[in-house]
Amino acid sequence: MSPRRLAVAGGRVRPVIGRVSGPLALVRERPLFVAPLEAWFGLRPGDRTLVAPGESVVRGAQLAERFRDRRTDVVEGPAGDGAEPGSWWTGSPSRRDRSGEPPSGELLFRAGGRWRVASGEPADALEAPFAGIVREVRPGAGIAVGGLGRGLIGTDVLGGPVTGRLQIAAPRDGHLRASAIDVGAAGAILVVGARIDAEAITRARAVGVRGMVVAGLGVKERREVLASERRSQAGTHGLPPFAVLVLDGAIGRPIATPVMAVLEALQGSTVAIVDMPPCLALDDGAIAVPAPAPDLVRVVAGPLAGAEGRWTGLAGPHRFAGGVILEACWVELDGGARIAIPLGDLERYT
Amino acid sequence: MTKPPRTLAIVDAGGATLSVALVGHLDGRWRLLGSLAGPAAIDEDALLAAIAERTASADPVLAAGLGLDAGSRADVPRLTARSRPPGKLLVVGATERSLGLLMAEASRTSWHLISASPETHDPREMTELALDGTVDAVLLGAGDPPGPDERGALDDLAALGVAAARRRPDLRFVLCGGIRDRRAWRAARADDLDESRIVEVPAVAGRRGEEGLLRAALEGLRADPLDGRGAMRRSVASLADLLDRRVELIEVGFDGGTRILAEPGTGGGDSTTESVITAEGGLIPPEPGDDIIDGVLAWSTGNLDRHRLIDRLRELRIRPWADAAGDGARLRLAAASAALARMAAVTEHLGSRPAPDLTIVAGGAFAGAPASAIALAVAGTIRRPGATQLAWDHARLLGPIGTIDDPAERYALLADLARDALVPLGTTFVAAASGSRQGLGRHGRGSVGRVDLAGDGLSMSRELAGDEVHFMDLPPGAVARARFEFHDAVRLGRRTRSAEVEVTGGLAGLLVDLRAVPLRLPERRDRRRTMLAAWSELSWPGDDR
């Protein structure tokens, strides 16, 4: 590597490449979609993959069989020719095993002449939430599936993957209560507005809702979802998978209007929630999605979090609450007021 | 022949924020024209354009002379440092005992750590951790020779390592101790693994163990000549030589922190530096555990309950550039204080040295915070008896300048820019109680001494209360002699009842800190918060949170 030198002739200093953008470029850009969507579905050692790279899968096709009551077995002797860590092993049925099923599992490693094998009881099937092509299969780690559609990006997903028809159950600044959820929502992915409480999540899961899309999810509700997932996975007859797509973060704020416009356009169509990347997968490329206005900015933090308005220019360094001086810009809020907002508190959708 | 540049954009691309500074060559030396920071994802050209436009609007002649018109900006050369993306290391020890030793070493590196041992994890769980796509490297370790408690697990560890290496060709390994000599390693046909993926270092424990080499090997896995944290070490070394002062730099960033102590060379020799880059010094880790939350809660003065605090910290992790005013600023500084406290815990060997002449505060965690609040946060966490001048690398120049390989060239640029790069915050003076006393206060909050300040047309005195902090106005540029007289002996490197030190002014002035060393706060949260809020009132301008 050439040494970094200050003089231009030394070759360390690289020239600026690209154009100099306008001041609106100082506002962080947030893309609405990831496209093309390639989703990663995590597996754990002992889960059995059922697909191979290059295979086409349709929505609902089984990608893998997941296990519960996971354990490590120790198997005497060689596991056969070509046995490699990660390969699937099936042994001979034991006389002590009343089921008559031969023991099986994923080979982990061999030490002292014995294999460690990850096994467990079959629990549920991992199904493809959208049609696509299997890009990569890594036993014990995960499966990558590339789809033709796009993904509406969120910040986080708990649970999943799930598929369901999208149903808007609350306005973008709403708060869906447990009493508002009934069995009519079974099989749906609900858009629940700015925030949701733990009781509503429990009820949704009980009536068969497959997923939720919410702007903010606090730690209490997050723990409720994760505990519910763990209970479901531990049960012999587990509940169907459930997922929550968090669009913004941990604090309740209205869903951004460009995002809500997409969700409204998708109402009634079948969508999926996948966790890597955290997004709402749209299979149907034919749905017209409105483009956000270029000067629309959204406040993501501070007392005005969730407010939207129109960018009107840089305001320079401003003194804000707490005596903090921050770079700011002028925003004409939807109510008509023109105020200075810290540059870091804004984002714009593209 | 190439003309030397007249302007230079100095870019520090951090994990959370991007800082761009524009410097110009004026009257034979480099001067800072302006700087601006924004979220990491924004275009640095936009930041540069905003600074250039401001420069042009403030002094059109100067801007034209430097070629800062819109058409020429694209030719402004750049000096860039960047933060390495965070790496995750799985540390597997043969026993919990050896794991503890490995973790102690690994915690003083920039790796985010997860850990396992055969005593707490079965082979399936350890394999699951190694196969996790977010794990970049695995450290397998035991003593050399292995202890009696370790021997039974070594073959499993060796076999686990080879199996993980086969299943994840992107994974790198550090083998510590005799893992490679185990029969299970050879039996698993490890000889055909790519040698460049495997680093072998001596054990950290046992008769043949050696300290320090493991840290170097772990940092070597992540070596990047443009890494801002690594480059800061060179800048601080040059600065120590330039100022002929002992210089300490404390940095808190998004994914890690840095503590560097540099001493100027003597007798024509080079300066010496010691440094620790640690993920423990990051503002908020990706998945903060209870200890991290408790740490932030301990420094928080707000009324947030635990759940709300976790929500706010999660938001801070998602958008670290946002919510930097009002309550958000105080929360951010509480998180930065907790990070400083964690960093102090893993750098005790640096903390035990005498107070440096100059302490530089750096990192995006302090961006926008009031100077006196920064001074109080540092004084409350990096506690050493003595006086030190405090300065702030406000434009984040030290990282990029440190990427210059040639020491003479780096020195020359720093010599030109040091005054502009470092905003003086003032001086902190910390006195510790001597003997077995925990604090200086004897009879409630009565006077324990006084300070007389004289110089530069200044003359002021103040009675000093024990277990308290005192701010005294001392403007930037002012130099004064401060004479401290205490009723009882205090510890300032030595036991004394009086001391006279030179103090320099800054935005925060002189901070006299007579709280206990180390700082002791009440266990009860309400009392602790009241105490912190009282100190905070002194350092935050206005009560407009």
Residues of chain B in contact with residue A140, where contact means CB-CB under 8 angstroms, are 127-128, 131, 167
Domains assigned to chain A:
30-37+152-282 (3.50.30), 85-119 (no CATH), 296-349 (2.30.30)
- Of B50, B124, B369, which is closest to A70 when you measure between CB atoms? B124
HSE, side-chain direction, 13 A CA sphere, residue A307: 19
> What are the tokens at A190?
């609900």
Q: Which CATH architecture does the domain made up of B7-82 adopt?
A: 2-Layer Sandwich (3.30)
Indicate the DSSP class of residue B151. Answer: H
The pLDDT value recorded for residue A17 is 34
Element holding A260 (H helix, E strand): helix A257-266
pLDDT in tens, A139-153: 999 999 998 889 999
The pLDDT value recorded for residue B274 is 95
pLDDT in tens, B197-221: 999 999 887 666 677 789 999 999 9
pLDDT in tens, A234-256: 776 667 889 999 999 999 999 99
pLDDT in tens, B442-497: 655 578 899 999 987 888 999 998 888 999 999 999 999 999 999 888 888 788 89
Q: A18 falls in which pLDDT band (50, 70, 90)?
A: very low
Pairing mode of beta strands A296-299, B257-263: unpaired
- The fraction of chain A above a pLDDT of 70, given in percent, is 88
The pLDDT value recorded for residue B208 is 67
* Global ipTM: 0.89
Residues 158-217 of A with CB under 8 A from B: none
SS3 state of residue A162: strand
Chain-chain contact of A21 with B50 (C-beta, under 8 angstroms): no
**Which residues lie below 8 Å from residue B246, measured CB to CB, with a gap of 6+?**
B240, B261, B262, B263, B264, B354, B356, B357, B358
Least Cα separation, residue A291 to chain B (angstroms): 21
Least Cα separation, residue B349 to chain A (angstroms): 32
pLDDT in tens, B261-294: 999 988 778 889 999 999 999 999 988 999 999 9
With a cut of 50, list the residues of chain B below it in pLDDT. Answer: 544-545
Partnered with residue B80 across adjacent β-strands are: B11
Whole-angstrom distance, CA of residue A128 vs CA of residue A57: 7
Residue B483: C-alpha distances to residues A216, B480, B498, B501, B513 (Å): 55, 10, 7, 7, 15
Bond from prior residue into A161 cis (ω within 30 degrees of 0): yes
CATH number of B88-221: 3.40.50.2300
HSE, side-chain direction, 13 A CA sphere, residue B536: 23
Chain-chain contact of B128 with A45 (C-beta, under 8 angstroms): yes
The amino acid that residue B221 corresponds to is L
pTM to 2 decimal places: 0.91
Bond from prior residue into B356 cis (ω within 30 degrees of 0): no
Whole-angstrom distance, CA of residue B243 vs CA of residue A256: 52
**Cα(first)–Cα(last) distance of chain A, in Å?**
38
Whole-angstrom distance, CA of residue B440 vs CA of residue B489: 9
Pairing mode of beta strands B432-433, B479-491: antiparallel
Residues of chain A in contact with residue B327, where contact means CB-CB under 8 angstroms, are 321-322
Q: Reduce the secondary structure of B500-542 to three states and give it as a string.
A: EEEEECCCCEEEEECCCCCCCCCCCHHHHHHHHHHHHHHHCCC
**Which residues lie below 8 Å from residue A189, measured CB to CB, with a gap of 6+?**
A162, A164, A165, A166, A167, A209, A210, A211, A212, A213, A271, A273, A280
At residue B385, φ and ψ (nearest 5 deg) are -60, 140
SS3 state of residue B256: coil
- Of A8, A116, A139, which is closest to B2 when you measure between CB atoms? A8
Whole-angstrom distance, CA of residue B280 vs CA of residue B110: 8
> What are the tokens at B64?
């034209």
Q: Where in chain B is the domain with CATH 3.40.50.2300?
A: 88-221
Chain-chain contact of B310 with A6 (C-beta, under 8 angstroms): no
Looking at chain A, the number of H-run helices and the number of E-run strands are 3, 26
Chain-chain contact of A15 with B3 (C-beta, under 8 angstroms): no
Mean pLDDT within A162-180: 93
Q: Indicate the average pLDDT of chain A.
A: 86
As to burial, measured by CB atoms within 10 angstroms (0-12 exposed, 13-18 middle, 19+ buried), residue B110 is buried
Least Cα separation, residue A176 to chain B (angstroms): 20
Q: Where in chain B is the domain with CATH 3.30.420?
A: 7-82
Residues 110-139 of B with CB under 8 A from A: 122-124, 127-128, 131-133
Q: A100 falls in which pLDDT band (50, 70, 90)?
A: low
The pLDDT value recorded for residue A1 is 35
